[in-house]
Chains A and B, each alone.
Chain A
Amino acid sequence: QTVVTQEPSLTVSPGGTVILTCASSTGAVTSGHHPNWFQQKPGQPPRTLIYSTSNKHSWTPARYSGSLLGGKAALTLSGVQPEDEAKYYCLLYYDGVRVFGGGTKLTVL
């Protein structure tokens, strides 16, 4: 059973930069895993921010970026805003099957 691992929680100050990561139990995350990143706020459905590692949707704020970093997928938030406080999930692709990470609770404090 494939497991995708994220930091359970992170804290960042307003205006700061934070990196969330997404690791695979099968080995290094590559572009072939097509990492997607989602933001979810309480009581709302998830919102897709990043797809296939680093591509943004039209609604994705410029301060969000995606990459591969040290064998993991990474979501970088630069110039964090209070409204970025949320839970963030990554999703990886394994030959048709998708697996979500456990999510990272981001606190802006």
Chain B
Amino acid sequence: QVQLVQSEAEVKTPGASVKVSCKTSAYVFSDYYMHWVRQAPGQGLEWLGRLTPDSGATVYAQKFQGRVTMTRDTSTRTVYMDLSSLRSEDTAIYYCAREGVGENPKRYFFDYWGQGTLVTVPS
């Protein structure tokens, strides 16, 4: 069955960078977008951006432009999210989430999510 398995929790110092991975299996890797979403403690969901696995093209939320980088390794079917210049407000669970696109009519559907990776940045 489709699986998105994320890397383990991380603790980082302010100003450092973190790289979270999302290893996929059991589907055609290039057929689906991969998004990154985060959730700070007790807060709502926040969209960081999207990667197109076959081309590597990215779209980032304006808030994270210049600080986030999304990449992929097609040989291992793994997607990465790198967030730099970390501050305490970046403490959150980071999720990868798969999105498919249907045609006629056009449809965009999120379906599978990773289990989440807690990134902690002490103040």
Q: How far is the CA of A34 from the CA of B89 in the complex (A)?
A: 30
- Number of A residues with CB within 8 Å of any CB on chain B: 25
Asked if A45 contacts B95 (CB within 8 A), the reply is: yes
Size bin of chain B's contact surface: 20 to 34
What is the distance, in angstroms, from B48's C-beta to the closest C-beta of chain A?
10
A36: which B residues are within 8 A, CB to CB?
Answer: 108-110
Closest to A95 in B: B59
B111 on the A face (CB < 8 A): yes
B45 touching A34, Cβ below 8 Å = no
- A89 and B46 alpha carbons, distance in the complex (Å): 10
Known: A45-B95, A99-B47. A55 touches B107 (CB 8 A): yes
**A38 near B115 (CB under 8 angstroms)?**
no
**Cross-chain contact of A96 among B59, B102, B105, B114 (Cβ < 8 A):** B59
Query: Taking beta carbons and an 8 Å cutoff, which residues of A are in contact with B?
Result: 1, 34, 36, 38, 40, 45-48, 51-52, 55, 57, 87, 89, 91, 93, 96-103
